[in-house]
Amino acid sequence: MSGSPGQMKDTLEMLLNLTQTAAIIVAGVWTYWLFVGKRQRYPRAQIAHTVTHFTISASRIVLRVTLSIENKGDVLIRIKEGSLEVFQMLPCPDEVLAASGDNDEGTYVKGDSELKWKPIRKTEMPTERIPREIEPDETDELPFEFILDAKCRKVLIYSHFTNETKKESGEEIGWDKSTVYDLGRPEAMSA
């Protein structure tokens, strides 16, 4: 480089400023790609049901559902709202049979893909168990127990947890899981 020391200093300062500006732009693009493009600011959960049952009397059984919530993402999951419902499928409730009529349309409503089963048990997330936080790569379990009529042979178990991060942004979505469980098989079966 030729020139006076003052010109060299100015050139070096200009190169330093350009390098810093480029680094800020690269960091901004990287942050956008990581958190917006890959949606890493949103939690990702995987829900699983482990179901067992046992007889407590000639007319009653206990259904135990253990919900596992695994954090598959890179951000903390906060759970403040959740519910679990149990629907009797067999013997088929009279109202489901009556609603299906003699045609083969079932009890579908336009836009629905499932029959309208009547819940026999429903519970909201117990207040002593909320709020819950699940760190990335961790799993949390919540046990639920219900006493059912021993005549019940098959149930549908449905759980829902609200995605608090999406709720804060105005969206009412979350994580759902449904499991069909056969009570007619030997006890202590998992689904």
Collect all residues with Cβ–Cβ distance below 8 Å to 150 and sequence separation of at least 6.
Answer: 55, 57, 58, 59, 60, 61
Higher pLDDT, 34 or 151: 151
Q: Is the pTM of this model over 0.85?
A: no
- Please report the pLDDT score of residue 48 as a whole number: 97
- Please report the pLDDT score of residue 38 as a whole number: 52
Return mean pLDDT, the chain.
Answer: 83
Across residues 58-68, what is the average pLDDT?
96
DSSP state for residue 44 in the 8-state scheme: -
- Please report the pLDDT score of residue 187 as a whole number: 47
| pLDDT over 70 percentage in the chain | 80
DSSP string, 116-130: -PPEEEEEEPPGGG-
- Please report the pLDDT score of residue 105 as a whole number: 54
- Please report the pLDDT score of residue 189 as a whole number: 42
Give bridge partners of residue 60 from the DSSP assignment.
149
* pLDDT for 108 beyond 60: no
* pLDDT for 111 beyond 60: no
Task: Write out pLDDT tens, residues 76-90.
Answer: 898 888 899 999 999
- Please report the pLDDT score of residue 101 as a whole number: 59
Q: CA–CA separation, 184 vs 151, rounded Å?
A: 9
Task: Write out pLDDT tens, residues 119-142.
Answer: 999 998 766 666 889 999 999 999
Across residues 100-108, what is the average pLDDT?
55
